[in-house]
A and B are shown apart, each in its own frame.
Chain A
Amino acid sequence: MAADVVRAERLTKRFGDQMILTDLDLTIGRGEFVVLVGRSGTGKTTLLRIIAGLEDGTSGAVEVAARTSVVFQDPRLIAAQRVWRNVVLASGRGKEAYRAARASLAEVGLENKARQWPKTLSGGEAQRVGLARALYREPDLLLLDEPFGALDAFTRAQAQDLVVRLWRSHRPGVLLVTHDIEEALLLADRVLVLGRGEIRGDLKVGLDRPRDTTSEAFNALKRQVIDLLGT
């Protein structure tokens, strides 16, 4: 595993008679920001969960970077542990771990919340703690499952900026799953369009960041994705 952080070959997932993913091939290179976009129920999350090792495929194979972190749609913080403990989990104890956790929290602008309980955080803050927890492990692959889905529009825009900034400084390969076409085009190097268990399109987004959602090029890409999503 030198050049790629994900390599899926002829990956198939079936639930009973229902085909979720059909003979899917997918490669994500080191440091590449890939966004997987699709309608609800097209198997986006299933694909991410298989890559994360939370589910098994029915046939085919996946190869995934050993250091992989996941950020879920819900923050999944342990209410009974302080914020910094949620970041550290089992990797380390004591002052050293606390300092490292604070450094990770500082990157998401929450270092002064380190000793608080998760219940006291807002939705956006909790999600940022989830990001800090993922990055604390210096992953080669960062998986994001609709991480901004539950946030209000303003908080979401801030969180999107934050993810791009963190990706730039840490350079993990990223696979982000969303149903928001604009979000996909704002963030990705490459947008994959998933429909009925197959990858229908693989678009390079060559625009400079930060991107202008009103530009001609942006909207041309948007129309292309909409066409690919089809029915």
Chain B
Amino acid sequence: MSTTAAPDRTVPVLTRSFAQEEQRARARAAARGRAVNVAARCLVPVALIAVWQLSASLGWVSTTALPSPVTILSAYGELWRTGDLQDALPISLQRAGAGLLIGGLAGLVLGIVAGLSTVAERLYDAPLQMVRTIPFIALVPLFIVWFGIGEESKAALIVGATVFPVYLNTYHGIRGIDRRLLELGRSFELSRPQVVRLVVLPLAMPQILVGIRYAAGVALLALVAAEQINTSSGIGYILNTGNQNQRTDIVIAGILVYAVLGIVVDVAMRWIERALLPWRNTHGG
């Protein structure tokens, strides 16, 4: 008798309702969660700046060693009024940008050729890898001897620092492409340049952009090192004169300009990646 009857027990269940009202409630909860997240992220930096300001105002630290945030803000005001900042920024950006452009292009071309041709790869990959292991900042004294203390040595330093990230990533990006797709060129009678344009560059682009992004960061780093060489212009000049006049507020202001440049470059690169790689975001990601 009891074998046919279902056992009188309740089964634990999870209910997921897809009613509009509940979905909206979930969305609201998620938005609240995001707001809390943003607040949590801001908490530590804001607290640090507050402590910093407080310690300066209350005289806990010497204001010549560490000027208060307010003093640094007024240093920006001073730099702006005298026009120093407006003069320096384009010059520094131009140095970094030109170096990145030349170094990046060289890295791109070298990487494409090495990625496609085994002969080229054998010819120069090993030497490039050896040179790559030298920290570029160690080359500063040598570059001063070779290129002098003018713009040439600065440009050479930034170019030298940006070639390798782009070269390496381009080369690996191309080597990572499915060989079967390169075979398409032969099945559909595409020329070498057509294969590069239609298959190689688009598919290697994600990796190439990683290289360019990295190179952009390195360009700023090299810029800082380069602008320590006898500068008479640029952000490095502001730093140096601030240092000589024992104006720590101006030195910190200059350092922060470098930091902001780094953030701006990173955001710009993310934006470029999204614009250039629409095919990668098709999984809703």
Q: Which of B147-165 contact A (CB under 8 A)?
A: none
Alpha-carbon gap, A90 to B190, bound state (A)? 7
> Do A78 and B186 touch across chains, with their CB atoms under 8 A apart?
no
> Do B282 and A90 touch across chains, with their CB atoms under 8 A apart?
no
Alpha-carbon gap, A74 to B186, bound state (A)? 16
Residues of B within 8 A of A116 (CB): 282
Q: How far is the CB of B279 from chain A (nearest CB, A)?
A: 4
> Do B199 and A78 touch across chains, with their CB atoms under 8 A apart?
yes
Q: Which of B134-179 contact A (CB under 8 A)?
A: none
Alpha-carbon gap, A119 to B191, bound state (A)? 26
Interface status of B122 (Cβ within 8 A of chain A)? no
> Do B194 and A69 touch across chains, with their CB atoms under 8 A apart?
no
Residues of A within 8 A of B203 (CB): 78-80
> Do A54 and B186 touch across chains, with their CB atoms under 8 A apart?
yes
- Select A80's contact among B184, B186, B190, B202, beta carbons within 8 Å: B202
Interface status of A97 (Cβ within 8 A of chain B)? no
Q: Which of B234-285 contact A (CB under 8 A)?
A: 277-279, 282-283
Interface size on B, residues (CB 8 A): 20
Interface status of B36 (Cβ within 8 A of chain A)? no
Interface status of B180 (Cβ within 8 A of chain A)? yes
Interface status of B18 (Cβ within 8 A of chain A)? no
Please judge, given known A-B contacts A52-B187, A53-B186, whether A72 and B180 are in contact too, CB under 8 Å: yes
> Do B194 and A90 touch across chains, with their CB atoms under 8 A apart?
yes
> Do A78 and B180 touch across chains, with their CB atoms under 8 A apart?
no
Interface status of A219 (Cβ within 8 A of chain B)? no
Interface status of A165 (Cβ within 8 A of chain B)? no
> Do A80 and B279 touch across chains, with their CB atoms under 8 A apart?
yes
Residues of A within 8 A of B205 (CB): 80
Q: Which of A145-174 contact B (CB under 8 A)?
A: none
Alpha-carbon gap, A81 to B186, bound state (A)? 18
> Do B184 and A76 touch across chains, with their CB atoms under 8 A apart?
yes
Q: Which residue of A lies closest to B203 (CB)?
A: A80
Alpha-carbon gap, A117 to B277, bound state (A)? 11
Interface status of A27 (Cβ within 8 A of chain B)? no
- Select A76's contact among B181, B191, B194, B279, beta carbons within 8 Å: B181
Interface status of B198 (Cβ within 8 A of chain A)? yes
Alpha-carbon gap, A47 to B283, bound state (A)? 38
> Do A119 and B187 touch across chains, with their CB atoms under 8 A apart?
no
- Select B279's contact among A53, A72, A74, A117, beta carbons within 8 Å: A117
17 chain-A/chain-B pairs, Cβ below 8 angstroms: A54-B186, A54-B187, A70-B187, A72-B180, A76-B180, A78-B202, A80-B205, A80-B277, A80-B279, A82-B279, A85-B198, A89-B190, A90-B188, A117-B282, A118-B279, A119-B279, A133-B188
Known: A76-B180, A90-B194, A120-B282. 5 other contacts (CB 8 A): A78-B199, A85-B198, A90-B188, A117-B278, A119-B279
Nearest 4 A/B pairs, CB to CB: A80-B202, A90-B194, A117-B279, A70-B187
